[in-house]
Amino acid sequence: MLAYAFRRVLSAIPIALIAVTVCFFILRLAPGGPFDGERALPPTVLANLRAHYNLDQPLVVQYFLYIWRLLHGDLGPSMVIDGFNVSQLISIGFPFTLTMALCAFVIATAIGMLAGMVAAVYQNKWPDYVLVLAVMIGVLIPNFLMAALLQLWFGVYLKWVPAGGWVSGSVWHLILPVTVLAWPHAGRISRLMRGSMIEVLGTNYVRTARSKGLGERLVLARHAIKPALLPVVSYLGPGLSYLLTGSLAVEQIFGLPGIGKYFVTAALNRDYGVVLGTTILYMFIILALNLIVDLVYAWLDPKVRYR
């Protein structure tokens, strides 16, 4: 198991390098630069700025300079927000983003699995149909529209919860954004869980378990859930990364102090350092998640072990 994990970490290195390279060059394809404003800067100031951030060097040289600094753990300065470097901005905004995404992730995964199981057991009966409807709403309505609808209904008309903004430590302010984030995730999880559970309930080994007189509850708990979790677990990694990236837009809409605020403005201002730094952070998170998922997978399905 340890050797397997080690090999997986090693194989992630070239993937990370390729991803950084692609991000670096794609970002430069976009027109404009960090110092283009409505009022053009005097040419000498612009030249000095460009020289300061190495933007006057050929692109390939800039790339190697960036990689070199990255290898030393330095994500570089922000080119737009004066006096801050990228690591500082991330450490200000990311803890909030991560907390919110994890909240949504845990809640949505638990609800999704439970709902999927119930739907499978009551296949083609009313609990199943209710679930399908809830899932459809969550998956089909994009999160910015869902956010607006919920703000309007629960925040403005009913006034049950704040429609936006942030008061430090207030759970009330998190309810709507977490709901918006969690709903589609719970929907996808429950669909996966329902499908795999129905499949598992029809297998020969579940029939064997029933023939032993174990009782339906034990058959479900011991014989059906573990194998049914396999496809769900393989989705959890990508699922959490969807939540983390989705939270960028949701934070913006609800005016929350996460990393989304910096990322969105940085992308619009061509703040190369911040955009790249955030992207690299997300990439590492996704690689780590996939590794964790694979390890959990090996635990769930003994056939994967020792490979």
Rounded-to-integer distance, Cα 200 and Cα 228, Å: 6
| Cβ closest to other proteins, residue 20 vs residue 224 | 224
- Tell me the Cα Rg of the chain: 24
**CB-nearer residue toward other proteins: 88 or 203:** 203
Residues at the contact surface with other proteins, assessed by CB under 8 A: 203-216, 218, 222-223, 226-227, 300-303
Contact status, residue 201 vs residue 117, Cβ threshold 8 Å: no
Spatial contact of 229 and 222, defined as CB atoms under 8 Å apart: no
- Minimum distance from residue 291 beta carbon to other proteins (Å): 21
Which of 168/204 has CB closer to other proteins? 204
CB of 202 to other proteins, least distance (A): 8
Q: How far is the CB of 226 from other proteins (least distance, A)?
A: 5
Residue (of 247, 271, 269) closest to 259 by Cα position: 247
Burial class (CB in 10 A: 0-12, 13-18, 19+), 185: buried
Q: What is the closest distance, in whole angstroms, from the C-beta atom of residue 195 to other proteins in the complex? A: 17
Closest CA to 5 of 286, 292, 236: 292
Rounded CA-CA distance 270/80 in Å is: 8
Cβ proximity to other proteins: between 7 and 212 the closer is 212
Task: Determine the number of helices (DSSP H) and then strands (DSSP E) in the chain.
Answer: 12, 0
Comparing CB distances to other proteins, the nearer of 52 and 125 is 125
Q: What is the closest distance, in whole angstroms, from the C-beta atom of residue 119 to other proteins in the complex? A: 15
Q: Which residue's CB is nearer to other proteins, number 69 or number 226?
A: 226
Whole-angstrom Cα distance, residue 217 to residue 117? Answer: 12
Cβ closest to other proteins, residue 52 vs residue 222: 222
Q: Two tokens at 102?
A: 């994890």
Q: Is 297 exposed, middle or buried (0-12, 13-18, 19+ CB in 10 A)?
A: middle
The rounded distance, in Å, linking the Cα atoms of 202 and 261 is: 48
